[in-house]
Amino acid sequence: MTNRIVVALFLSTAFCAFGQNAPSSNPQPPAPGTTSSICNTQPASTGDFWNGAEPNLANLMGHPVTTKKYVQGQVRPIQDCLNTLDNAAAANGTMIKDVDTRTQQGIQQASMRTKEAEQHAIDADHRAQAAQQAAAQTTAHLSSVEQVVGKLDQYKSGSQTEIDFRSGETVLSKKAKEALDEMAAPLKDQRSYLLEVRGFSSGHGQAAMVASRQMADSVVRYLVYTHNIPVHRIYALGMGNAPASAEAGTKTKHTSGGRVEISLLKNDLASSEQH
């Protein structure tokens, strides 16, 4: 026992002769800060022989490597750094989720707007096609109307009726009325026709003109009142003592008394279009 005490005293004296004074045995860990400062903090030199200081008996005996407080002081910066990294990772995850949510919403809105635009384009195309069809139908109708209008003045001479008057008379005889009845009866249900009534009278100058017009007016009155022929379909002319028309191959002759010629003009093409 005495020998052990002597050896211990000898070693203590030797370590004291070559050693240095030991620093504080309980260094405090650095205060936690930002992620970069915590994660990049290096343990400060404490003069501990474990960190390169010259060993001595006092440091060896008083080193706090086994104390709970020392371990916590060494572990706390690492734990703080890990906690900061976890918080940053959680924040980044939240930001990524928010960005992804907004991106998905933007994609959905863009897709909806694209579909709406496509539907508007389809509707516009349908309206354009309908307008084109309507324009084509209108063009065809106008062409048909133009053809009908172009044929309205294409009248052909039909039957002719002659009414004779005694010189100086303008009253219709029984024979004249029968001739007019025979001519007007087929016109009751017909359309697209005209009646040209021309009066001729003997004599000269203005007196012949007046007499010929009076005879023509007598025929017109009878056709209108008796057979209900519209006035706008009758054209009456007083020709005076002009030569009356004659049949083909014969010479025209001047009338000796009074004479009225009724010519039926028909538009067969326009009539067929109306039917």
Flag whether pLDDT at 236 surpasses 90. Answer: yes
Q: Are residues 54 and 95 in the same domain?
A: yes
Domain count within the chain: 2
- In the prediction, which pLDDT does 144 show? 73
Question: Residue 17's pLDDT band (boundaries 50, 70, 90)?
Answer: very low
Angle at 176 between CA 171 and CA 182, to 5 degrees: 140
Q: Are residues 123 and 177 in the same domain?
A: no
Question: Residue 215's pLDDT band (boundaries 50, 70, 90)?
Answer: very high
Q: Are residues 45 and 165 in the same domain?
A: no
Residue by residue, DSSP assigns 218-274 as HHHHHHHHHH---GGGEEEEE-TTPPBP--TTS--B--SSEEEEEEEEE-HHHHHHH
CATH of the domain at 236: 3.30.1330.60
Q: Are residues 61 and 176 in the same domain?
A: no
Q: Of 222, 215, 192, whose CA–CA distance to 261 is shortest?
A: 215
Using the 3D structure, point to which of 151, 171, 188 is the last residue of a domain: 151
- In the prediction, which pLDDT does 189 show? 80
Mean pLDDT comparison of 8-17, 31-40, 185-194, highest-scoring range:
185-194
Domain of 176 in residue numbering reads as: 156-274
Q: Are residues 24 and 136 in the same domain?
A: yes
Q: Are residues 139 and 184 in the same domain?
A: no
- Dump pLDDT digits (tens) for 127-160: 999 998 888 888 887 777 666 666 556 677 778 8
Q: Are residues 213 and 82 in the same domain?
A: no
- Dump pLDDT digits (tens) for 42-67: 554 454 545 555 555 555 555 555 56
Q: Are residues 133 and 5 in the same domain?
A: yes
Helices (H), the chain: 2-18, 35-39, 57-62, 68-151, 174-184, 205-227, 268-274
Q: State the CB neighbour count (10 A cutoff) for residue 167.
A: 12
Question: Residue 203's pLDDT band (boundaries 50, 70, 90)?
Answer: confident
Q: Are residues 168 and 145 in the same domain?
A: no
Using the 3D structure, point to which of 108, 129, 151 is the last residue of a domain: 151
- 33 compared with 218, residue with greater pLDDT: 218
Using the 3D structure, point to which of 151, 183, 214 is the last residue of a domain: 151
- In the prediction, which pLDDT does 261 show? 94
Q: Of 242, 235, 247, 221, whose CA–CA distance to 155 is shortest?
A: 235
DSSP-assigned letter for residue 188: T
| 181-193 CB burial, b ≥16 within 10 A, e <16 | eebbeebeeeebb
Question: Residue 219's pLDDT band (boundaries 50, 70, 90)?
Answer: very high
Q: Are residues 191 and 143 in the same domain?
A: no
Q: Are residues 118 and 187 in the same domain?
A: no
Given the DSSP bridges, would you call strands 193-201 and 234-238 parallel, antiparallel or unpaired?
Answer: parallel
Q: Are residues 102 and 171 in the same domain?
A: no
